[in-house]
A and B are shown apart, each in its own frame.
Chain A
Amino acid sequence: MLRSVLSFYRDGFRRMTTGRILWKIILIKLFVIFIVLRIFFFKPVMSGLSPQQKQTRVATAVLSAP
């Protein structure tokens, strides 16, 4: 069963034409999103904070004058 599934996908990918270009674009995009943007630009602001610290941070932001 597993072999059939694997050969299904292998044969499908082998027969691709336009799909190869699309996959290259997808992989480039995923690299840009997950490696470049995620690491260098998308730093989750609240990661590393304890739940208590997160609550305090958000409460302060909500209560602060704009």
Chain B
Amino acid sequence: MLLSIDASLIDWSRAQFALTAIYHWLFVPLTLGLGVIIGIMETIYVLKGDEFWRRVVKFWMKLFGINFAIGVATGLILEFEFGTNWSNYSWIVGDIFGAPLAIEGIVAFFMEATFIAIMFFGWEKVSRNFHLASTWLTVIGATISAWWILVANAWMQHPVGMEFNPETVRNEMVSFAAVAFSPTAVVKFFHTVSSGWITGSVFVVGVSCWFLLRRREVKFAKASMAVGTAFGLAACFFVMVSGDSSGINVAKEQPMKLASFEGLYDGSEHAPFTIVGPLKIPNMLTFLATHKHTAFVPGINDLLNGGYKLADGSTALSAEQKMFRGRRAMTSFAAFRQANKQGNMALAAVAEKNLQNDMPYFGYGRIQQRAELVPPVNLVFWSFRVMIGLGMLFVLLFLVLTYLQMKRKLNDYPIILYIGVWCIPLVYICSEAGWICAEVGRQPWAIQDLLPVNAAVSSLQTSSVQLTFFIFLAVFTLLLIAEIRIMCRAIQKGPEMSGETKI
């Protein structure tokens, strides 16, 4: 029986997953970034033995706890959705996806959960060094969690280390190392985690600016800002280096995504980087994509029309050629299943061999028109610019604040402090824009080249997906309002004077 999936079901399913992922990502970067900053501050406390730094740590730890608590279980909803809304996808990739997610839950999350209790409850109960170790282990646990989740996501962008088994209709892992340490996973991890460090730094700097503007807790605010700006500058360096590596990786593995980032329709050997409108940097895209001064960067039309030379010397196929091979792969797949059912092993072996020959284009068999292969260019183009533009703003902010701190002129320029405060919401916009680039840019693929979204989605009633979308929107909005209120109340209260931290 043929199953028909209506386009609105796909779009609502995408929207629901996007909403839950965006919501989850509101909490994770602050956990990653603020966690490291707390670790640094507590290290200063233990080395100096100065009770002032203990108060500083306890204040930021309270905010860390609020963010961590509200963020709890936001990721679980995504995992539920894999089973409900993306059941075909879950079956096809379960052998690959399941391993990193299981490791994340068993190792990383339990590590965080264990040591976070000592972080909050152990101040008067354990030694300073043990408490410090617990703080760092909580942060390391959160970072290891991020590693495994990003391994899973990286595999979607660049599937490696597996073979497709047409009998079980599953991708089966043949190399754990290839999956866990793929170049895509490594660059994605460093770029995503360091972006979380920037979120934490901007948050600390922004809140410190707020205290300075109100001339409250001045010593605390200046000390926190010193750590925040120094760590923020280091984080910016890592983000830029990993972002550059990410660009090279995307150019190689997902050239349509790169072309969409740039709105590049016609490729060139000296492709410019578009800042905005007519404002372009000549040759910059070629350099960013290849680290060479002359190299062809294909545009959207080139990727659809094919015919240009690839890095390995072969000629790029057109969309129609890929779709032909994809349909041939589908025919071989259907022939294999039929032969298997009939017990004709010889025919099944031939069909399987033909399938494996066309396997790299398997997903193209589900594409009807070449236009489906182009992601929403405007959304990806502008999200990319929002991410880069705000990233540059944060670099400038950290540099200016570092200079003003060195010259002891922080209070002379209140406008800078106001900008610092306003950067708090902007860093979240920047962070989400990055994920929009990554995930919208890979459309129409659930797994790059192997499984388009229209084959990954479960056959559900569109109305039920719409209903859950609006339920999530309402629940998430309420929870977000609660978190922001609790966080603002804790910030307004300020650091504890007595040294007793309660959360």
A contact set with B: CB distance below 8 Å? 8-9, 11-13, 15-19, 21-23, 25-26, 29-30, 32-33, 37-38, 41-47, 51, 54-55, 57-66
- CB 8 Å contact bits of B410-441 with A (1 = contact, 0 = none): 00000000000000000000000000000000
Query: Given A11-B121, A32-B475, A62-B455, are A26 and B77 neighbors across the interface (CB < 8 Å)?
Result: no
Contact B83 A42 (CB under 8 A): yes
Contact A45 B169 (CB under 8 A): no
Contacts of A23 in B (CB 8 A): 69
Contact A66 B503 (CB under 8 A): no
Contact B337 A59 (CB under 8 A): yes
Identify B169's interface contact among A15, A43, A58, A64, CB under 8 A.
Answer: A58
Contacts of A45 in B (CB 8 A): 83-84, 87, 458-460
Query: Given A25-B482, A41-B464, A65-B368, are A19 and B503 neighbors across the interface (CB < 8 Å)?
Result: yes
Contact A22 B169 (CB under 8 A): no
| In the complex, B333 has a CB within 8 A of chain A | yes
Contact B503 A41 (CB under 8 A): no
A9-B121, A19-B120, A26-B72 are known contacts; what are 5 more A-B pairs with Cβ within 8 Å?
A26-B70, A41-B84, A47-B83, A55-B169, A58-B92
Contacts of B3 in A (CB 8 A): 60-61, 64
Contacts of A41 in B (CB 8 A): 84, 464, 467-468, 471
Contacts of A26 in B (CB 8 A): 69-70, 72-73
Contacts of B468 in A (CB 8 A): 37, 41
Contact B2 A64 (CB under 8 A): yes
Chain A contact residues, majority secondary structure:
helix
Contacts of A65 in B (CB 8 A): 2, 4, 368
Contact B479 A44 (CB under 8 A): no
Least Cβ distance of B97 to chain A in Å?
A: 14
Contact A22 B69 (CB under 8 A): yes
Contact B486 A16 (CB under 8 A): no
CA distance in complex: A57, B502 (Å): 53
Contacts of B498 in A (CB 8 A): none
Least Cβ distance of B421 to chain A in Å?
A: 22
CA distance in complex: A19, B333 (Å): 55
Contact A8 B121 (CB under 8 A): yes
Identify A44's interface contact among B4, B5, B77, B83, CB under 8 A.
Answer: B83
Contacts of A19 in B (CB 8 A): 65, 69, 120, 502-503
